């Protein structure tokens, strides 16, 4: 480890203080002052766009084997990664997204209409973002929609335990999720579900190296598709709602021309990423910035900072719908780029279309306080908004 690690640890600790409510500003400060920094909790954090992109494309030096638990396929390196990735990618192809979009639209519409009927004052994270993310994931997997509250509760509990570094609670939560997934698999085994029954059943019929995926592999995929998606999509919806409430001119432009939505969503989430970062581990000694880092060291890629790097994005903190998206790392880059990006993009587009369709506008509630999320979450914990509808 670099001899300056203790100094860097103090630098990083000051920027990641739990009391710091502006995570984005803290990461911006780190990128400018200490672009590669060490801490006990994260290992070596990398904040600059160029460094993050270089690491993403160098999977030989920076391995994705960061956990002792199997993680299919994002926690794998080549050639194993490619084998499993070929199984995963068809579930997010154009035809599947087109077929799933009407279901996504129904879920979004029902949620928005329900909250309009309750009154025009809503807390957007609890009433819209979280239930939408959980319900849509249940629908995508073919799970009962009644499980959505369980998934929201689980994700919230997991974030809280991670915040407190409570390993005992984290272990119990892992067992709880494993049991939930095993129940879904058992029900399909018992009923001899065919591959076309739903997505979960389809995974149970997938083959790798001439054999069916085993329970551990299927469970890993389903864990990634539940926990990861529910947390990320709910954070993304919150960030989008917050931005459009702060910038009514952007809300008006998107209401007038929905063709702007795909580019606008990616750009808004570039400025405030729904994920803090992603991990790697060094396979050999490396040099990052001024630091010599040994093999076997943890590397943390800070998405929020990298996507706001002024050396790459002019006026980086400003949302520009016509900005060239080629350097946007919202979904990563290289061989591990997020395979679920088409699903996420469709879900967010449809949600905003339905929110726009049922309202004239939305804004913050008078005298209400927006509460930022705290690490490990990004975005917002609470967004009190007022939905204006036609009278």
At 2 the pLDDT is 47
Per-residue pLDDT band at 229 (split at 50, 70, 90): confident
Which residue range forms the structural domain that includes residue 307?
Answer: 5-388
Contact 127, 115 (CB under 8 A): yes
Structural domain count of the chain: 1
Specify the higher pLDDT residue, 243 or 375: 243
The pair of three-digit structure tokens given for residue 268, joined into one six-digit string:
């808004």
Contact 241, 124 (CB under 8 A): yes
**pLDDT above 90: residue 3:** no
Q: 318-349, pLDDT tens digit by residue?
A: 999 999 999 999 999 999 999 999 999 999 99
Work out the mean pLDDT of the chain and round it to a whole number.
Answer: 93
Instruction: State the distance between the two ends of the chain, measured CA to CA, in whole angstroms.
Output: 65
Q: How far apart are CA 232 and CA 377, in angstroms?
A: 9
Q: 43-65, pLDDT tens digit by residue?
A: 999 999 999 999 999 999 999 99
Contact 180, 227 (CB under 8 A): no
Per-residue pLDDT band at 41 (split at 50, 70, 90): confident
At 9 the pLDDT is 42
Q: Which residue blocks in the chain are alpha helix, DSSP H?
A: 5-15, 23-33, 49-57, 80-88, 94-118, 124, 130-141, 148-163, 167-190, 199-204, 215-223, 229-246, 248-256, 261-271, 303-306, 341-358
Q: 125-134, pLDDT tens digit by residue?
A: 999 999 999 9
Per-residue pLDDT band at 354 (split at 50, 70, 90): very high
Residue 335, preceding bond cis, omega within 30 degrees? no
- pLDDT (mean) for 261-265: 98
At 227 the pLDDT is 83
Q: 146-200, pLDDT tens digit by residue?
A: 999 999 999 999 999 999 999 999 999 999 999 999 999 999 999 999 999 999 9
Contact 27, 277 (CB under 8 A): no
At 273 the pLDDT is 97
Percent of the chain with pLDDT over 90: 88
**pLDDT above 80: residue 214:** yes
DSSP state of 278: E
CA 386 to chain centre: 26
The CATH number of whichever domain residue 272 belongs to comes to 1.10.630.10
């Amino acid at each position: 480890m670099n001899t300056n690690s203790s100094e860097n640890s103090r630098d990083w600790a000051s920027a990641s203080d739990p009391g710091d409510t502006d995570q984005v500003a803290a990461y911006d400060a780190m990128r400018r002052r200490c672009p590669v920094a060490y801490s006990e909790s994260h290992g070596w954090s990398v904040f600059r766009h160029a460094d993050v992109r270089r690491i993403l494309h160098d999977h030989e030096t920076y391995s994705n084997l960061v956990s002792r638990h199997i993680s299919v396929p994002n926690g794998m390196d080549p050639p194993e990664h490619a084998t499993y990735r070929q199984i995963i990618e068809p579930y997010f192809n154009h035809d599947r997204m087109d077929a799933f979009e009407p279901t996504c639209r129904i879920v979004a519409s029902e949620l928005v209409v329900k909250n309009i009927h309750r009154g025009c004052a809503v807390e957007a994270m609890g009433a819209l973002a979280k239930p939408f993310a959980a319900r849509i994931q249940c629908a995508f997997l073919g799970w009962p929609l009644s499980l959505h509250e369980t998934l929201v509760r689980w994700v919230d509990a997991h974030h809280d335990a991670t915040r407190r570094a409570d390993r005992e609670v984290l272990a119990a939560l892992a067992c709880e999720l494993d049991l939930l997934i095993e129940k879904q698999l058992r029900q399909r085994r018992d009923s001899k579900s065919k591959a076309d029954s739903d997505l979960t059943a389809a995974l149970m019929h997938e083959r790798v190296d001439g054999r069916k995926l085993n329970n551990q592999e299927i469970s890993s995929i389903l864990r990634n598709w539940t926990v990861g998606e529910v947390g990320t999509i709910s954070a993304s919806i919150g960030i989008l709602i917050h931005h459009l409430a702060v910038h009514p001119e952007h809300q008006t432009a998107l209401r007038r021309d929905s063709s702007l939505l795909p580019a606008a969503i990616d750009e808004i989430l570039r400025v405030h990423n729904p994920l803090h970062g992603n991990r790697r581990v060094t396979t050999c000694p490396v040099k990052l910035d001024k630091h010599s880092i040994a093999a076997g060291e943890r590397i943390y890629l800070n998405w929020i900072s990298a996507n706001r790097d002024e050396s790459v994005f002019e006026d980086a903190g400003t949302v520009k719908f016509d900005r060239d998206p080629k350097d946007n790392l919202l979904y990563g880059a290289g061989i591990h780029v997020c395979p679920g990006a088409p699903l996420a993009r469709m879900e967010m587009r449809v949600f905003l279309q339905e929110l726009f369709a049922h309202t004239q506008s939305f804004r913050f509630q008078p005298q209400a306080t927006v509460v930022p999320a705290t690490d490990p979450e990004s975005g917002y914990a609470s967004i009190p908004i007022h939905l204006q509808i036609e009278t």
